Every structure is written in C-alpha cells, then in structure tokens.
Amino acid sequence: MKALICIREKYYSWVQDAFPGKHPALLRICNKPLIEYMLDFVILNGCTSARLIFDEPSPEIESYLGTGSRWGIELSFSNSRDSDSIDSILLKNDKFIQNTPLLMLEGFFFIHYDKKLDYRNWQETSDSGKMISCTTGAIRFGRDSKEIQSMSPSALDAELSLSSLESVKDIYQICMEVLAQEQDNYVLPGYSADKGTILGRNVEIGKDVVINPPVIIGDNVRLLGEAVIGPSAVIDKNVIIDSATEVKESAVLEGSYLGRNLYVDKKIVSGRTIFSGTDAESIDIEDAFLFSEISPVIPWQRIRQLISSIGAVILLLILGIPYLILGILRKLQGDWKKQQIRCYINHTGDTVEVNTIASNKETLTGRLFSTFYLEKIPLLMLAIQGKMRLIGNLLLPATSENHQSLQSFPEYAPGVFSYTEADNIAPGTIESEVAERFYAAHRSVVQDTKMLAKALLTGPDNKTMHQ
C-alpha cells in the first residue's frame, strides 16, 4: 500500500502568521513535528512508500525528511496548486499510485491514533472506500485511486479521529490532550524517567527544581534552581527556564528563554511572543530579560575558544608595550600592588589562580593604567591558555557563597571583559545578576563581539571581578 500526504496552504496560512519562519509541516506538538505523526500513521497502515505534496516546493522539508530511511519508508515529493481538486491530485500522481491500495491524507489536521492497534486490514474488511474528515481535511482509503475519487464521507471502522488545526488554540489544546491522556499512543521523543515524565537528551536540572507530571522536556534544556515545571508542561528543545519560574498547563516552544520569577499558566511561549491557550490572543514582550529567543550558538566549542584566544593575543600585542612602560613607572612610584586570588572558571567548581593588579586613580600612571585596561593583562594570558573567555561572566572568587550560586548557573563562563562591565552595571546588584544570566543564555560569537566593543567603549568604571 502507498500513501499520499497532501498538506494544503489554504488550511495552514495562519501558522505562518503566528510562527514566522516555521514550516507548518514542522509545527511541533509535544516536541514532535506534525509531519512525523503523519508518517508514523501511514507506516502503521502498512505503507511502504509515501509521497508528500505541497503547494510550493519545500527544500526545508525535503532536507529534514530525506529519503525516509529513518522511518523505514521510501519518501518522494511533489507539488500541487491551491486550485487542484482531489481528482487532479490523483491524476498528477498516477504513476506513483499505479493502481495500488492507497491511503490519502489531505488537509492540515492532527490524527489521534494508537500505535498499539493494527490499522493494516482496511483493504481486507472494506467493501468500498472509507473516509474520515474534519473541517480542515480528511483521510481517505481506497483499493485504488478510482475508488477514492468516488467515495463519500463515512465513518471508519478503525479507532482514530481527526482534530482540525485552525488556530494556536487548537495547537494548545492538542498538546495538553496528548500530554495528559495519549502519551502512550505515540512514539514521542525522549525517555520515560518516571510515569508521565518524558526527558530528552542533555537536560540539566538545577538544584531544588520541581517537576510535576505529566511533562515532556526536549533536548538541550536547562532548568535552573527552584524552577517549577508542570503539571501539564511541554518544554521543547533548546530552552532555558531561569530560577524560580513556574510553568504549568503551558507549552514552551523551541529556542525560548524564560527569565527569573515568572508564572506561566495556560500559555504557549514562542520566543518573545506569548499566546493565550484559551483564546489564542497574543502579546509580544519587549523586555528580553523576561522572554526572548535564544540566539543560535556555534556548536564547536574549540572554534569559539580559538576565536577568543586570537582576540586575546591581538589585545595583548596592542597593550603589551604600554603595560611594560607604565608598570615600571608604577613600581618606581611604589604604586604596584599585586596579589593572587583563586577564582572559578566554570559552573562545576574548577578553579585557577588569578593575578590581580590594584587600580589607583589617584596617580596619573594609575589612571592611565586603568584607562587602557592594562590591569587585564594577566587575564588575557588566561584567555590565551583557554582557561577563560575574552567576553563572559564576572570572575567569581572561590568562596562557599559563590560556589552555591553556581549550582543554578550552568551557563557560567568567566571572561576578561564581563557582560556587567559592558552594560556599565555595578557588580553584586540584582541588575548585574539578571544581565549576567541573560547574556550567558544568548551567548554567540556575534553577541560576544558586540559586548566586547561595548565594554571597550564604555570604559573601565566597573570591576572585572565580583568580590
């Protein structure tokens, strides 16, 4: 048996308005793209090959699905026009069908099925074509394309139903329904740690985080200290939920950042856009410290560290001669105070000895030393060695208090220049802590470059190290 999956633009245009840049077929329900539910369903029906039909060519979908080998089915792709009828679609794909039994999914909807049931006997038990429909499409089965062309709506014997997808509200309701009642019916991404809890890969759960099933949490998710997740929470991949934020009866979509001390109830969060799950009304949050999209980061840490080290070498070459000259003058004036402090270099508690040079703005040489950031020379040496970054978080001395704060800050990575310094915020304040966490969550090469330029232009008004 073969399958045609025809996803029509006339049904899904609202998706492109609500979620710009997301292909409707890749719209995720409980962390799984809609198209994968459809593929799983046609495979349960014994289909060995399927053709996906869109109104326009979709390189994104073709790249994502490939040949179908991941699912054990042969995939091909075709196009249709919005004006095409069912008959014309079947005619255009006649060579693919070749008078074999055919399962046709046409429209834009969610299929409620059960992976434990056998759907392969339709063609054996049906005397005529069968169809099940909703307002945004239908599923048809026939022994050949002619039977599908002549069929009229009727109830299928198989245990399944369709839910129309006409708004964000439908997405929300289906997510909550699948999570609460139908988890066992589908192959969902992740593994079940406890009943009602599905976890993806690389999930970091901070100290005192509370998880109340049912929940599903995707790959590369960070839940920081005292966050409360669930009941009925869908957390997609590449999401950060900051400390003491509660998410229940809500879905947080891929690549979203939620700030600290927030309460999210009956919502869909997509970056800065918040949708109500009850009426689909939306608002855009201007304050990126509360809700925002997580900037893509380069996955190759060695490349990022290499860029940081090269930048540190360039600054060292520029500042090296002024450092030697003014350093000699300060020593002659008795104004050279140097000490070693052990500091954290990551959130796991690893430390390194850091040489610090006290600033003294009461003397001309001291002011020049500070103006040109010459006290950062020892830190640049550590950046070249790869022990810290050129731009990162405030350098934290190794104290029990700081060690405790690192437990809920897995993104911590100290830098020669800090985010707090770039924003000209006093260290140790609430504003400083918010800025540090926010920029760490959005860290990228482009972001770091901007912050470095900002720090250099702002001037050395703040300390690099938070005592």
Block mean pLDDT (10 aa), the chain, length 467? 88 87 89 95 92 85 86 92 85 88 92 88 54 88 64 54 94 96 92 86 89 94 93 94 95 92 95 91 82 59 73 89 88 82 82 83 82 86 88 87 73 85 79 79 75 73 51
Q: What is the pLDDT of residue 298?
A: 43
Nearest to 97 by CA among 140, 136, 160, 64: 140
- Residue position matching structure tokens 């039909």: 53
- Residue position matching structure tokens 């856009």: 273
User: CATH 2.160.10.10 occupies which residues in the chain?
Assistant: 184-293
Separation between Cα atoms, residue 310 and residue 20, nearest integer Å? 37
Question: What tokens appear for 333 in the block?
Answer: 């004036």
Superfamily per CATH, domain 2-166 = Spore Coat Polysaccharide Biosynthesis Protein SpsA; Chain A (3.90.550.10)
Separation between Cα atoms, residue 165 and residue 26, nearest integer Å? 13
Q: What is the pLDDT of residue 11?
A: 84
Q: Which CATH class is domain 184-293?
A: mainly beta
Strand partners, 163: 110
User: CATH 3.90.550.10 occupies which residues in the chain?
Assistant: 2-166
Q: What is the pLDDT of residue 283?
A: 92
Strand partners, 248: 265
- Does the reported pTM lie above 0.85? no
